[in-house]
Amino acid sequence: MAFSIAPCMSIMSRAARLARMLKVCAIPGPIPAHLIQAKCKQPRVGVYYAALGNLGAMDGSSMIRRNALRRWLLQRLLPQCLCVCVVFALLGPAARAQNRASLYTQADIEYGSQIFVAQCSGCHGVNGDQVSGVNLRSGQFRHVFSDNDLRSIVTNGIPGTAMPPFNLDPPELAGIVAYIRNMRDFDVRTVTLGDAGRGEALYKGTGNCASCHRLNGKGPRVAPDLSEIGALRTADTLKRSLVDPTGAMLPLNRSVRAVTRDGKIITGRRLNEDTYTVQLIDDQERLVSLEKADLREYAVLKTSSMPSYKDKLSSQELTDLVAYLLSLKGTK
Amino acid sequence: MIPPCRVTLLLLLSSFAACSLYAQVSSDRLVRAPEEPQNWLTYSGTYSSQRYSLLHQVDLTNVKNLELKWVFQAQSLQKFESTPLVVDGIMYLTQPPNDVVALDAKTGTVFWVYHHNPSPAARPCCGVVNRGLAILGDSLFMATVDAHLVAIDAKNGHSLWNITVADPAAGYAMTLAPLVVKDKVLVGVAGGEFGIRGFVSAYDARTGEQAWRFYTVPGPGEPGHETWRGDDWKHGGAPAWLTGSYDPDLNLTYWGTGNPGPDFNIDARPGDNLYSDSVVALDPDTGKLRWFFQFTPNDAYDYDSVQIPVLANMNWNGSPRKLLLWGNRNGFFYVLDRTTGKFLFGRPFVKVNWARGLDDAGRPMVTPQLPGAPTYPGQQGGTNWYSPSYSSHTGLFYLSAWEDYPTIFTGVPAQYKEGQRYTAGANTGPIPGGDTPGGPQRGPINTYTEAAGHGSVIAIDPHTGDKKWAFEMHDVTTSGILTTATDLLFTGGREGYFQALNARTGELLWKASLGGDIIAGPISYEVDGKQYISVAAGRGLFVFALRN
* pLDDT tens digits, one per residue of A21-50: 433 333 333 333 333 333 323 333 333 333
Instruction: Work out how many domains chain A is built from and give that number.
Output: 4
User: Does A132 share its domain with A174?
Assistant: yes
- Find the domain containing A203 and state its range: 196-248+307-326
Chain A residue numbers touching B239 (CB-CB < 8 A): 1
User: Does A232 share its domain with A314?
Assistant: yes
**Helices A315-326 & A235-243, crossing angle to 10 degrees?**
130
Name which of A89, A91, A96 is nearest A31 in CA terms: A96
Read off the CATH number of the domain in which A226 is found: 1.10.760.10
Can you tell me whether residue A143 is helix, strand or coil? coil
Question: According to the 3-state scheme, what is the secondary structure of B201-219?
Answer: EEEECCCCCEEEEEECCCC
Strands B540-546 and B99-104, sheet pairing: unpaired
Interface check B288 vs A, CB under 8 A: no
Q: What is the pLDDT of residue A16?
A: 44
Domain contains A82: yes
Give pLDDT tens digits along chain B (548 positions): 444 444 444 444 444 443 334 468 999 999 999 999 999 999 999 999 999 999 999 999 999 999 999 999 999 888 899 999 999 999 999 999 999 999 999 999 999 999 999 988 887 888 889 999 999 999 999 999 999 999 999 999 999 999 999 999 999 999 999 999 999 999 999 999 999 999 999 999 999 999 999 999 999 999 999 999 999 999 999 999 999 999 999 999 999 999 999 999 999 999 999 999 999 999 999 999 999 999 999 999 999 999 999 999 999 999 999 999 999 999 999 999 999 999 999 999 999 999 999 999 999 999 988 888 999 999 999 999 999 999 999 999 999 999 999 988 888 787 888 887 788 877 777 765 555 666 555 567 776 666 678 999 999 999 999 999 999 999 999 999 999 999 999 999 999 999 999 999 999 999 999 999 999 999 999 999 999 999 999 999 999 999 98
Interface check B451 vs A, CB under 8 A: yes
User: Does A97 share its domain with A110?
Assistant: no
Catalytic residues of B: 302
Q: Which residues contact A45 (CB under 8 A, 6 or more apart)?
A: A33, A36, A37, A77, A80, A83, A84
Do residues B123 and B168 make contact, with C-beta atoms less than 8 angstroms apart?
yes
Name which of B436, B453, B457, B433 is nearest B509 in CA terms: B457
Q: What is the pLDDT of residues A47-63, one digit of tens each?
A: 333 333 333 332 222 33
Domain contains A56: yes
Residue A230, pLDDT above cutoff 90 = no
Cβ within 8 Å of B, A 52-71:
54, 58
Q: What is the pLDDT of residue B209?
A: 98
User: Does A232 share its domain with A295?
Assistant: no
Q: How far apart are CA B471 and CA B224, in angstroms?
A: 41
Q: What is the pLDDT of residue B428?
A: 75
**Quick check: B425 and A9 CB within 8 A?**
no
How far does the CA of residue B332 sit from the closest CA of chain A (Å)? 17
User: Does A155 share its domain with A276?
Assistant: no
Domain contains A331: no
Chain A residue numbers touching B421 (CB-CB < 8 A): 5-6
Domain contains A205: yes
Name which of B42, B18, B541, B10 is nearest B245 in CA terms: B42
Q: How far apart are CA B236 and CA B217, in angstroms?
A: 6
Q: How far apart are CA B178 and CA B141, in angstroms?
A: 7
User: Does A177 share its domain with A202?
Assistant: no
Cβ within 8 Å of B, A 217-236:
233
Domain contains A174: yes
Do residues B331 and B353 make contact, with C-beta atoms less than 8 angstroms apart?
no
How far does the CA of residue B269 sit from the closest CA of chain A (Å)? 11
Residue B481 CB neighbour total at 10 angstroms: 28
- Segment A101-119 mean pLDDT: 77
User: Does A231 share its domain with A143?
Assistant: no
For A66-116, give the DSSP string. HHHHHHHHHHHHHHHHHHHHHHHHHHHHHHHHHHHHHHS-HHHHHHHHHHI
User: Does A222 share its domain with A165?
Assistant: no
Can you tell me whether residue B9 is helix, strand or coil? helix
Q: How far apart are CA B265 and CA B425, in angstroms?
A: 7
**Quick check: B412 and A3 CB within 8 A?**
no
Name which of B174, B165, B166 is nearest B125 in CA terms: B174
- Tally of helices (H runs) and strands (E runs) in chain A: 13, 5
**Quick check: A251 and B413 CB within 8 A?**
no
Phi, psi of B243 (to 5 degrees): -60, 135
Chain A residue numbers touching B495 (CB-CB < 8 A): 274-275
Q: How far apart are CA B137 and CA B140, in angstroms?
A: 8
Chain B residue numbers touching A251 (CB-CB < 8 A): 431, 434, 447-452
Interface check B241 vs A, CB under 8 A: yes
Domain contains A1: no
Last residue of a domain, one of A57, A72, A101: A101
Domain contains A33: yes
Interface check A80 vs B, CB under 8 A: no
User: Does A66 share its domain with A163?
Assistant: no
User: Does A79 share its domain with A138?
Assistant: no
Question: Who wins on pLDDT, B491 or A323?
Answer: B491
Can you tell me whether residue A291 is helix, strand or coil? strand
Interface check A10 vs B, CB under 8 A: no
**Quick check: A5 and B263 CB within 8 A?**
yes
How far does the CA of residue B452 sit from the closest CA of chain A (Å)? 9
Residue B278 CB neighbour total at 10 angstroms: 24
User: Does A186 share its domain with A205?
Assistant: no
Last residue of a domain, one of A43, A74, A101: A101
Burial B91-113 (b: 16+ CB within 10 A, else e): bbbbbbbbbbbbbebbebeeeee
Cα angle B298, B299, B301; round to 5:
160
Domain contains A145: yes
Q: What is the pLDDT of residue B487?
A: 98
Phi, psi of B366 (to 5 degrees): -75, 140
User: Does A318 share its domain with A210?
Assistant: yes
Last residue of a domain, one of A73, A101, A129: A101
Q: What is the pLDDT of residue B442?
A: 59
Residue A148, pLDDT above cutoff 90 = no
Residue A184 binned pLDDT confidence (cut-offs 50, 70, 90): low
